Amino acid sequence: MASVKSLDERAALVGADPEKFFMPIPSDLRYNWVRAWLQAIDQTEMRELVVDAWCMVVPKRVAADYLGDRP
């Protein structure tokens, strides 16, 4: 599962590319998650989705250090 910033973003992602993304199961709708068909996503896109989701949950400084955005 990938993470999105808002429920509106999740709906837009699923609506824009339903061959790749679909809604989570009902019990997971409370989280900002979206599901993906793994066979439809290449390694580069998967890495980007995972890093983006990770950056949303770690401290900003940790994400900045990883991404090379140090002040």
Give the mean pLDDT of the chain: 88
Render pLDDT for 26-36 as a digit per residue (tens, 0 to 9): 999 888 888 99
Cα torsion angle, 24, 34, 29, 57, sign: positive
Q: What was the pLDDT predicted at 1?
A: 65
Q: Report the percentage of the chain scoring pLDDT > 70.
A: 90
Sequence ranges of the domains in the chain: 2-67
- pTM score > 0.75 for this model? no
The secondary structure element, H or E, covering residue 34 is strand 33-36
CA 54/CA 58 separation, integer angstroms = 6
Give the pLDDT band (50/70/90) at residue 3: low
Residues 46 and 16: beta-carbon distance below 8 Å: no
Residues 37 and 19: beta-carbon distance below 8 Å: yes
